[in-house]
Amino acid sequence: MRLAQDKARTVFAENSQDVVLGADTIVVLDEHVLEKPSDEADVRRMLKMLSGRKHTVSTGVCLIGPKFEDVQSETTEVLVDTLSEEDIASYIASGEGIGKAGAYGIQGMFGRWIPRIDGCYFNIVGLPVPLVWRMMKKFGVG
């Protein structure tokens, strides 16, 4: 939530008559925050950690306007199938995992290995659209 707020405040400081949305998403397994992987070896490490396990995806959202600031978050639980070495190798070869928190994007080929989620799908993609809509309605935006 703090990073989402920092992002939104930075943009709002230069656009104070506009409404600004900031968001930041993290993937958490046990007590480990899985950030964006640094390279293919890091993608492999993260996918092995996620394989056959549940984890959470949390997105902090900050909406700022001339007369308001609201910060909220959404958390979704995600179950990943057990991944074979072949699954991991093919995913790494696709390049999809680079630049994504937790080394995966559910909206791409990795979605085939997600048998169940509990919560907002859009949150896993990176922006919890229903939460943002509720926040916008609260302040008469949009």
Give the catalytic positions in this structure. Answer: 24
Cβ partners under 8 Å of residue 14, min gap 6 = none
State how far the Cα of 108 lies from the Cα of 4, in Å rounded to an integer.
24
